[in-house]
């Protein structure tokens, strides 16, 4: 499959990246982790004005991929997958464009993300969608992802929850790819400046090989993500989720290795993406679950022949 974005899609990606580059998203991420939501909510409004919150219902999954890859590349905080990918499809008769909503989808998403800033909270249990109230907070490996337990309330009419889940898993994969790209770019910049024994460490063959492996992994993940954006089938989404998680994990590991001890520090911006990648790997279906789903789909197709 050959995928080439349209002129409009390329322009949208450029506008989104320009906005996020000017917005100091790292500062917003750090503030969000401290419970200071002002910068993040201001960023949410600017992105909503650009149309990001309406992409799930008014655009195609390709535009969703463009937006969420940018959100991952810039470590934008907030319940974006829940509010702008899952719930617009799960609640097609509810206009969520100007609101922030979040949801827990058991068993894959057991906690609601950022319920403390959401206007509405939902939960999916047993294939049914209900309103919910926030319960006790739960610690996440990524402090900018503020998780809470939920208590189910009244059931509500809903749309296609399976398609909503696939779009959410697809958006999460796009975030992982964007985060992996950012870690690779920052790692290349770092090794080009850091000197040791009179040479930049990026001139050493071992480091070049590790970074090249990350580049290859990300490049292999992108076509699967693009293909899932065109098809949005369970098989294509799971394949993209697996490959994007693996590529982002490799980018995080190599990025941490080439940065050395400074990569561990919370004060260094790299930590924003390392923690985000670690958290998103198991969000909206773990890699193991997606592998099982992909295998089951392939075996079912084979048995039907």
Q: Domains of the chain (ranges plus CATH)?
A: 162-304 (1.20.140.10)
Q: How far is CA 118 from CA 55, 83, 133, 206, in A?
A: 19, 9, 11, 46
Dump pLDDT digits (tens) for 254-267: 999 999 888 778 88
Q: How far is CA 219 from CA 68, 107, 163, 290, in A?
A: 17, 31, 26, 20
Q: How far is CA 117 from CA 2, 19, 202, in A?
A: 40, 23, 43
Confidence tier at 75 by pLDDT (50, 70, 90): very high
Dump pLDDT digits (tens) for 173-197: 999 999 999 999 999 999 998 877 7
Dump pLDDT digits (tens) for 106-134: 999 999 999 999 999 999 999 999 999 99
Question: pLDDT at position 1, please?
Answer: 55
Question: pLDDT at position 211, please?
Answer: 96
User: Which of 84, 78, 12 is closest to 39 using CA atoms?
Assistant: 78
Task: Provide the whole-model pTM.
Answer: 0.96
């Amino acid at each position: 499959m050959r995928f080439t974005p349209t002129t409009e899609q390329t322009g949208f990606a450029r506008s989104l990246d320009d906005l996020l580059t000017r917005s100091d998203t790292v500062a917003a991420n750090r503030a969000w982790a401290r419970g200071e939501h002002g910068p993040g909510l201001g960023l949410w409004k600017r992105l909503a004005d650009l149309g990001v919150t309406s992409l799930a219902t008014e655009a195609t999954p390709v535009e969703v991929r463009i937006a969420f890859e940018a959100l991952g590349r810039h470590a934008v905080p907030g319940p974006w997958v829940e509010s702008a990918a899952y719930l617009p499809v799960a609640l097609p008769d509810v206009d969520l464009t100007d609101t922030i909503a979040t949801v827990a989808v058991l068993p894959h998403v057991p906690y609601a993300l950022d319920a403390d800033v959401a206007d509405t909270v939902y939960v999916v249990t047993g294939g049914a969608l209900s309103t919910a109230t926030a319960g006790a907070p739960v610690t996440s490996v990524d402090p900018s992802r503020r998780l809470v337990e939920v208590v189910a309330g009244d059931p509500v009419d809903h749309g296609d929850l399976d398609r909503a889940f696939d779009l959410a898993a697809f958006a999460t994969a796009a975030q992982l790819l964007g985060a992996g790209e950012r870690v690779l770019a920052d790692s290349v910049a770092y090794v080009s400046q850091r000197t040791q024994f009179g040479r930049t460490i990026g001139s050493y063959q071992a480091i070049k090989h590790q970074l090249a492996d990350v580049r290859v992994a990300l490049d292999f993940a992108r076509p699967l993500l693009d293909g899932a954006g065109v098809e949005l089938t369970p098989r294509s989404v799971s394949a993209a989720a697996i490959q994007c998680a693996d590529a982002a994990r490799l980018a995080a590991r190599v990025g941490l290795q080439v940065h050395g001890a400074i990569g561990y520090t919370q004060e260094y911006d790299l930590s924003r993406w390392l923690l985000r990648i670690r958290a998103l790997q198991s969000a909206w279906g773990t890699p193991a679950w997606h592998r099982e789903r992909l295998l089951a789909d392939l075996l079912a197709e084979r048995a039907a022949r």
